[in-house]
Amino acid sequence: MADDFQLDIDAIGNIAVVPTILDVICRITGMGFAAVARVTPDRWVALSVRDDIAFGLKPGGELKVDTTICHEIRQCGELVVIDHVSENDKWREHHTPKMYGFQSYISIPIILRDGRFFGTLCAIDPKPAKLDNVETLGMFQAFADLIAFHLEASERLKTSEDSLFDERKTAELREQFIAVLGHDLRNPLASISGGVRLLLKEEQSDKARSILTMMQSSVVRMTALISDVLDFARGRLGGGFAVVVTEANLTAVLAQVAGEISAGFPEREIDMQVAIGQPVKLNR
């Protein structure tokens, strides 16, 4: 199995019409082998196959690329059609028909809309066949174009799905950030609120008291906004915040929290004693 080309094998396998295309080709031309092949400068890989002549290839099977005519088609970008190898001056001595034992051959490039060469739609048979006519060539061209269309549609769908996933991931991270930010703002806001209440209890000038009153009103509004943000985040995130394990100096963290609480509630006495000799793993 050509694992490097599994995505291409899957892409062609997901195009439900491809087996029908190969069946129609064999029935109309009388040829026994038809395939969709991925052709690169150094690989020829069968992606979908109809084999009624025991040629021996299955999806994922490979031929040495320089032994194939498809290799030459990739280089020139033009189809090749041979009704009868033995009667064709150009191809009767060519190494490929001799190696694989066919007398009739047709292969047309599958070109994507942006000009990329994908591979070929091809057919062979050990007997001669009447292929070099408008009807057969038109049929092959239509089928190659149809395969290219489906490949492009699948590629666009995959790109859209990846883009949508990235957008959802970004939105989720943004919502988590907002939630964490709202949560972390509550303690310093409580400190500001406590400080304002403490200052309002003391003698202040009229101007200072007016400013403190406005600050207190702003704190109330900010507290309400933070509550709304946290409610929104809980509703959006459902399962809660992502937990990340980190190491931290817990003594410093606790001292900061105690300081903020003390500032917010100056009438309370807070006695803190901490004895932690090493960093502590925390879930954040």
Supply the DSSP string of 126-194, one letter for each residue.
Answer: SS-----SHHHHHHHHHHHHHHHHHHHHHHHHHHHHHHHHHHHHHHHHHHHHHHHHHHHHHHHHHHHHH
- Strands 245-248 and 117-125, how do they pair? unpaired
Q: Give pLDDT, residue 215.
A: 82
Picking from 132, 147, 181, the residue at the C-terminal end of a domain is 132
Residue 241 has a pLDDT of 47
The CATH number of the domain holding residue 59 is 3.30.450.40
Q: How many domains does the chain have?
A: 2
Task: Confirm whether 155 is domain-assigned.
Answer: no
Torsion of CA 68, 70, 72, 78, to 10 degrees: 150
With residue 211 as reference, give the H or E element that holds it.
helix 206-237
Task: Give a yes or no: residue 157 inside a domain.
Answer: no
In a domain, 66, yes or no: yes
Closest C-alpha to 226, from 192, 254, 258: 192
pLDDT at 1: 46
Domain encompassing residue 258: 167-283
Q: What is the pLDDT of residue 237?
A: 57
Per-residue confidence (pLDDT) for residue 179, from 0 to 100? 67
User: Under 8 Å CB-to-CB from 260, ≥6 apart: which residues?
Assistant: 187, 188, 190, 191
Question: Could you say which DSSP state residue 227 is in?
Answer: H
16 assigned to some structural domain:
yes
Indicate whether 159 belongs to any domain.
no
- Distance, in Å, from the CA atom of 4 to the CA atom of 8, rounded to the nearest integer, reads 9
Judge if 90 and 203 occupy the same domain.
no
Is position 154 within any domain? Answer: no
Contact 83, 104 (CB under 8 A): yes
User: pTM for the whole thing?
Assistant: 0.58
Q: Which of 17, 3, 280 is nearest to 151 (CA)?
A: 17
The answer to whether the beta carbons of residues 118 and 145 sit under 8 Å apart is: no
pLDDT 10s digit of each residue in the chain, 284 long? 456 789 899 999 999 899 999 999 999 999 999 999 999 999 999 999 999 999 999 999 999 999 999 999 999 999 999 999 999 999 999 999 999 999 999 999 999 988 999 999 999 999 999 999 999 999 999 999 999 999 988 787 777 766 777 777 777 777 676 666 666 677 777 778 778 888 888 888 888 888 888 888 888 877 777 777 777 666 665 555 444 556 667 777 777 777 766 766 677 788 888 887 777 776 55
